[in-house]
Amino acid sequence: MFKILKKDSKTKARLGLLTTSHGVIKTPTYVFVGTYANIRHLSPLDIKRSGAQVIISNTFHLWDRSKKEKNFLAKGLGKIPTMTDSGGFQVLSLAFDDKDRVGKFMKDDAKLDTSYKRTKIKITSKGVKFFYNKKWKFLGPELSMKIQAKIGADIIFAFDHITSPLDDYAYNQKAVKLTDKWAKICLKTRNPRQMLFGIVQGGLFKDLRIKSAKSIGAMPFDGFGIGGSYTKEQIAGVLKYVIPHLPDDKPRHLLGVGKVADVFEAIENGIDTFDCVIPTREARHGRLYTKTGHMDIRRGAYSADKKVIEKGCGCATCSKKISRAKIRELIKSEDVKQNAAGQRWCLMHNMWFFNNMLEEIRAALSRGTYQTFRDKFLTRFNG
Helical spans, DSSP H, in the chain: 44-49, 59-66, 73-77, 88-93, 141-151, 169-189, 206-217, 235-242, 260-267, 278-284, 316-319, 324-331, 336-367, 370-380
Q: How close are the terminal C-alpha atoms of the chain, in Å?
A: 36
Contact 325, 302 (CB under 8 A): yes
Residue from 152, 55, 158, 163 nearest 106 by CA: 163
275 is catalytic: yes
Measure the CA–CA gap between 228 and 110, rounded to whole angstroms: 15
Q: What string of DSSP letters covers 80-103?
A: S-EEE--SHHHHHHTS-S-GGG-S
Measure the CA–CA gap between 347 and 47, rounded to whole angstroms: 9
Calculate Rg over the CA atoms of the chain. 21
46 is catalytic: no
C-alpha torsion angle, residues 80, 86, 88, 90 (rounded to 10)? 30
Residue from 120, 196, 208 nearest 156 by CA: 196
Catalytic residue of the set 168, 262, 275, 335: 275
The amino acid sitting at 218 is: A
Handedness of CA 60, 62, 66, 71 (dihedral sign): negative
Contact 284, 39 (CB under 8 A): no
Catalytic residue of the set 85, 154, 167, 272: 85
The residues annotated as belonging to the active site are: 85, 275
